[in-house]
Structure 1
Amino acid sequence: MELKEDVWKRVIEFANLLVNEDEDERYEVHYNALKDYCEAQSLGGYDHPFLWESLGDFTTSDDAAIPLYLRALNLAAEDEAREYRVSIRFALAERYRSLGQENLALEYAIAADDEARLLSDLELRREISRFLLSRK
């Protein structure tokens, strides 16, 4: 599952704008531009999990982020999309915990942990382990 370089660069540009924005109104403008870009890519036939995971990452509402992550997860079904699945499941676990839905948080964190064992990203594996150990 190859990510087009121009798509990656454009999403990173949006991400930099969002990370460095202090004003709520400007954040919303940048967020909506990223959302429009993701939707345009999808309508143009390029629907990649990176787009929807990134949009979910910058969504300020947990309730609104979850469907974006689920969309990304559905697109990350191929074997070579393992890294996406792990990070998306972990993001879902964090969002569900934030909403007080500990059972769903645990379900997604365990799934992320199980598959993360096949990755070389030790920092992500540590984060997931810390999350699981910090259960409420």
Structure 2
Amino acid sequence: MQVPLYDEVHGLALDIVNASARGDEEEGAIAYAQLKELCENNDGCDNDHPLQWEALGDFSHDHVEAIAAYDKGLRCAQRLGLLEYIASIKLAMAESYSEVGNSAEAFVLANDAMADAEHAAESELQAAIKDFLNEHGNT
């Protein structure tokens, strides 16, 4: 990933978080729209990276929009062979499905995420996935 893309995604994420902390919905919506535009502009280009899509999904207020962003990020991560992102996005998708009461889909995604995280030798991510599975009664 190119540093300018990371910096731009990180900056927009901070803008969204800071706006939320201040209760400034308008500023948060502007930063979210900028993040969404960045993702759409990079979609399928050399700058396309799962980080931007995962961030977009994380800040989406709508489950359907979040899953759509995560799905694009997952396909991008798979295309680039980035196992850590594959696992992280699957965990984020599992969390989103869990929030809307679809525990069966959440369980499948979380277990898939664990398998990917184990292949990526990503112990912190593995711990987060185990925590998710333990919290949701599936071990």
Which runs of structure 2 are paired with 1:3-42 in the superposition (5 Å)?
Answer: 3-21=1-19, 22-42=23-43
1:121 corresponds in structure 2 to 122
Residue 44 of structure 1, CA deviation: 5.1
Q: Which sits farther off after the overlay, 66-75 or 43-52?
A: 43-52
Inter-partner Cα distance in structure 2 for 1:81 and 1:119: 8
Residue 41 of structure 1, CA deviation: 2.0
Identity %: 31
Q: Against the structure 1 CA distance between its residues 43 and 123, is the aligned structure 2 distance closer, same or farther, given a 3 Å change threshold?
A: closer
TM-score for the superposition, normalised by structure 2: 0.88
- Structure with greater helix share of residues: 2
Query: Aligned pairs, how many?
Result: 134
Inter-partner Cα distance in structure 2 for 1:121 and 1:45: 26
Inter-partner Cα distance in structure 2 for 1:23 and 1:14: 14
Residue 119 of structure 1, CA deviation: 3.1
CA contact (8 A) 2:5 2:47 kept: no
1:98 corresponds in structure 2 to 99
Inter-partner Cα distance in structure 2 for 1:68 and 1:117: 24
Q: Deviations over 1:11-31 (max 9, x none)?
A: 111011111112112111110
Q: Against the structure 1 CA distance between its residues 45 and 80, is the aligned structure 2 distance closer, same or farther, given a 3 Å change threshold?
A: closer
Q: Against the structure 1 CA distance between its residues 105 and 19, is the aligned structure 2 distance closer, same or farther, given a 3 Å change threshold?
A: same
Inter-partner Cα distance in structure 2 for 1:64 and 1:97: 15
After superposition, the CA RMSD in angstroms is: 1.7
SS at match of 1:76: helix
Inter-partner Cα distance in structure 2 for 1:43 and 1:90: 23
Structure 1, unmatched stretches of 5+, are none
Q: Against the structure 1 CA distance between its residues 109 and 40, is the aligned structure 2 distance closer, same or farther, given a 3 Å change threshold?
A: same
Structure 2, unmatched stretches of 5+, are none
SS at match of 1:20: helix
TM-score for the superposition, normalised by structure 1: 0.89
Which runs of structure 2 are paired with 1:40-55 in the superposition (5 Å)?
Answer: 40-42=41-43, 45-55=46-56
Inter-partner Cα distance in structure 2 for 1:80 and 1:45: 15
Residue 114 of structure 1, CA deviation: 1.0
Q: Deviations over 1:43-62 (max 9, x none)?
A: 75532222211111111222
